C-alpha cells in the first residue's frame, strides 16, 4: 500500500541512508528511490526494536519480588494469567516438559508483532506488519527456530522420522505431504498476519470514505439531513479503530500460539 513518508522514516534515512545505500550496492540491490533507501516500514520496525530494547533494559532494573509495581503486574499477566493464555501457560500446556526455555524466542517474536501491530494507532506511524516482508521475516525466524529445536532434540535421523508418518511403508506418501505442510506454515503465518493488518486498515479507510460520501450527498440534498449525518464520518471509523486494536492483540496472540504449537510438535517425543 502507498503511504505518506513518515517522520521516523525521514529520520532514519537522514541518519543511516548513506550506510544502507552502500550496503545495498555491495549486495547488488538497487533501491527504488536512492534518496530514501530505507523504506518506512523498515525504519519503524528498527525504531520499535530500539524502543523495546531500551524499555526492557530499563524495566529490568525496576523488577522486584517484594514490591512489584503496576507495570510489573501487567507483564506478569502476559506471562501467566487465570485464563491460561499467558506465554508460560501456553508453553506448559503445549510443549510441556522443559517448555519454558523457549520463552525467549516465542515471547520476543510475540511482543515484537504486538508492538508492530498497535503502533499504527499513533498518528504518523504505520504498521510494519501491513507490508508483507515484515511478517515473512518473523515467520522465517520461527520456521528456522522450530526446525533447529527439533534437530537439536532428536538429531537429524530422529527428526527425519517425524516426516515419515507413523509406519514405514507409508513413508513415500507421508514425506511429500509433511514437507508441503511444513513449508505451508511459512506461507500461512505470513499471509495471516499481513492480510489481517491490511484488512483492518482498508476497513477503516472504506468506512471513512463511505461516511464522507454519505455526508456530502446528504448535505447537498438538504442541509438538515447533512447536519444529522455529519456524525457518520466521525463515528463509524472509530468503531474500526477499536476493531483494529482487537485484531492487533488477537493476531499477536496467534503469532505466539502457533510458534508454540510448532515447537511443541517438533520437540515432541512420540506422536
Between residues 127 and 196, which has the closer beta carbon with respect to another protein?
A: 196
Which of 112, 115, 194, 240 forms a contact with another protein (CB under 8 A)? Answer: 194
**End-to-end alpha carbon distance in the chain:** 43
Rounded distance between C-alpha atoms, residue 146 and residue 230, angstroms: 52
Mark residues 150-179: x for contact with another protein by CB under 8 A, - for none: -x----------------------------
Contacts of 196 (CB under 8 A, 6+ apart): 247, 251
- For position 198 contacting another protein by CB under 8 A, the verdict is yes
- For position 148 contacting another protein by CB under 8 A, the verdict is yes
The window from 68-76, 106-114, 215-223, 250-258 that contacts another protein (CB under 8 A) reads: 250-258
| DSSP result, 72-105 | HHHHHHHH--TTS-SHHHHIIIII-TTGGGGHHH
- For position 207 contacting another protein by CB under 8 A, the verdict is no
**DSSP 8-state assignment for residue 124:** T
Residue indicated by cell numbers 525521514: 10
**DSSP 8-state assignment for residue 68:** -
> Number of residues in contact with another protein, rule: CB under 8 A?
28
Are 125 and 131 spatial neighbours (Cβ–Cβ below 8 Å)? no
Between residues 182 and 192, which has the closer beta carbon with respect to another protein?
A: 192
Between residues 184 and 217, which has the closer beta carbon with respect to another protein?
A: 184
- For position 29 contacting another protein by CB under 8 A, the verdict is yes
Instruction: Return the closest-CA partner of residue 114 out of 259, 6, 239, 256.
Output: 256
Between residues 99 and 233, which has the closer beta carbon with respect to another protein?
A: 99
Residues forming contacts to another protein in the complex (CB under 8 A) are 27, 29, 83-85, 89-90, 93-94, 133, 136, 140, 144, 148, 151, 188, 191-192, 194-196, 198-199, 253-254, 257-258, 261
Amino acid at each position: 500500500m502507498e503511504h505518506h513518508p513518515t517522520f521516523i522514516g525521514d529520520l532514519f534515512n537522514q541518519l543511516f541512508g548513506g550506510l544502507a545505500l552502500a550496503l545495498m550496492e555491495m549486495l547488488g540491490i538497487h533501491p527504488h528511490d536512492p534518496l530514501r533507501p530505507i523504506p518506512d516500514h523498515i525504519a519503524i520496525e528498527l525504531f520499535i526494536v530500539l524502543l523495546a530494547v531500551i524499555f526492557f533494559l530499563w524495566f529490568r532494573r525496576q523488577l522486584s519480588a517484594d514490591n512489584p509495581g503496576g507495570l510489573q503486574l501487567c507483564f506478569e499477566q502476559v506471562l501467566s494469567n487465570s485464563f491460561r493464555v499467558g506465554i508460560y501457560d501456553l508453553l506448559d500446556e503445549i510443549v510441556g516438559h522443559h517448555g519454558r526455555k523457549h520463552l525467549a524466542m516465542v515471547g520476543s517474536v510475540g511482543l515484537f508483532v504486538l508492538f508492530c501491530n498497535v503502533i499504527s494507532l499513533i498518528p504518523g506511524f504505520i504498521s510494519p506488519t501491513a507490508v508483507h516482508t515484515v511478517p515473512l521475516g518473523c515467520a522465517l525466524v520461527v520456521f528456522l527456530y522450530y526446525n533447529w529445536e527439533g534437530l537439536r532434540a532428536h538429531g537429524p535421523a530422529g527428526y527425519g522420522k517425524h516426516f515419515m508418518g507413523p509406519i514405514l511403508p507409508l513413508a513415500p506418501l507421508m514425506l511429500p505431504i509433511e514437507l508441503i505442510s511444513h513449508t505451508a506454515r511459512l506461507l500461512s503465518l505470513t499471509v495471516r498476519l499481513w492480510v489481517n493488518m491490511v484488512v483492518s486498515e482498508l476497513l477503516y479507510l472504506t468506512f471513512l470514505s463511505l461516511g464522507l460520501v454519505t455526508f456530502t450527498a446528504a448535505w447537498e440534498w438538504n442541509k438538515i439531513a447533512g447536519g444529522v449525518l455529519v456524525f457518520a464520518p466521525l463515528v463509524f471509523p472509530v468503531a474500526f479503530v477499536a476493531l483494529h486494536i482487537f485484531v492487533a492483540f488477537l493476531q499477536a496472540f496467534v503469532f505466539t500460539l502457533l510458534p508454540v504449537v510448532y515447537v511443541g510438535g517438533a520437540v515432541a517425543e512420540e506422536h
